[in-house]
Amino acid sequence: MENETMPFFKTAAAVLTTGLLLTACGNGDGNETASDNDTGGEPSSWDEIEESGVLTVATSGTLYPTSFHDEDEGLTGFEVEVTREAAERLGLEVEFTEMGFDGMLTSINSGQVDLAVNDIDINEDREERFLFTDPYKFSYGAMIVRPDDFSGIETLEDLEGKKHGGAATTIYMQIAESYGAEGVTYENVTNDTYLRDIENGRLDVVMNDFYLQSLAIEALPEIDVVIHPDLFYHPNNQAMIMKEDSHELQEQLNRVIAEMMEDGTITALSEQFFGGQDVSQEPDVDFDDE
């Protein structure tokens, strides 16, 4: 899910309290990060990338835990490190360009970058216009609710008339409203705001990615909310996205991603950044129909 960006924080603990729940999609040091205003020409072919020795990649740098700045202000995160490892196996260095999600697909098409990573969903519309690598993250939607009665929600149909919090254009807001929920729009607030508003009754539910919601609740144990134990929906997967004619780059990346899945590298990175959880495996979960 191509999550919206969040403010810059210097510690992982602080990042955990930021806007992880605003989503629905998402540099190392100064030598590694290009500016948002760079312009590019035609996208590089694989031969040109190999000759230059550099893979150019768009990411947000503000989306914990997939792309964020650590306490030393260096760019890291699950997909950042997957990309670095893939590039190393291809004999390439990586140059990250940090930008908001809205600019990533445009930057791919303009040739500013070779690909983007930011928890970006694979979906039919994008597959008509871009290429994806094979997926390396599998996820699904969950709900944060009050623990005493699960906010009166037993099925997705019970969302009708409930108050759902999130950003206006996210896929999760769209899902909630499709079931008749009243959308309450927030602008770039932190997770504690969402969770406290569920606790105090201003909201009934926040719907979002299961893994991100798990991290948010773990980071804020003093707030009396839970993930609904019975309602899961919107299975989805994420991968690197690139221009629709980048077939050889796609093949090269798929080759090393398969190696990394096989040798456990992606599992290890997942467990490092997702609190011990392995997002590289398809979940064994019963999903409610949307």
What confidence score (pLDDT) does residue 235 get? 93
What confidence score (pLDDT) does residue 13 get? 46
| CB contact at 8 A, 162 and 181 | yes
What confidence score (pLDDT) does residue 16 get? 46
What confidence score (pLDDT) does residue 191 get? 78
* Cα angle, residue 220 at apex, residues 219 and 221 outer, rounded to 5°: 105
In the predicted model, residues of the chain with pLDDT beneath 70 are 1-44, 188-189, 289-290
Strand-pair category, 54-59 with 93-98: parallel
Domain 12-136+239-273 class? alpha beta
12-136+239-273 and 139-234 agree in CATH topology: yes
What confidence score (pLDDT) does residue 108 get? 96
> Hey, which CATH number is domain 139-234, 2.102.10.10, 3.40.710.10, 3.40.190.10, 3.30.300.30?
3.40.190.10
What confidence score (pLDDT) does residue 188 get? 58
The single-letter code of the amino acid at 70 is: D
Per-domain residue ranges of the chain: 12-136+239-273, 139-234
| CB contact at 8 A, 7 and 22 | no
| CB contact at 8 A, 58 and 35 | no
CA dihedral defined by 242, 248, 251, 252, rounded to 10 degrees?
-100
pTM: 0.76
Tokens of 276: 């011990």
Ramachandran category for residue 201: left, alpha or beta (phi over 0 → left; psi -120 to 50 → alpha): left
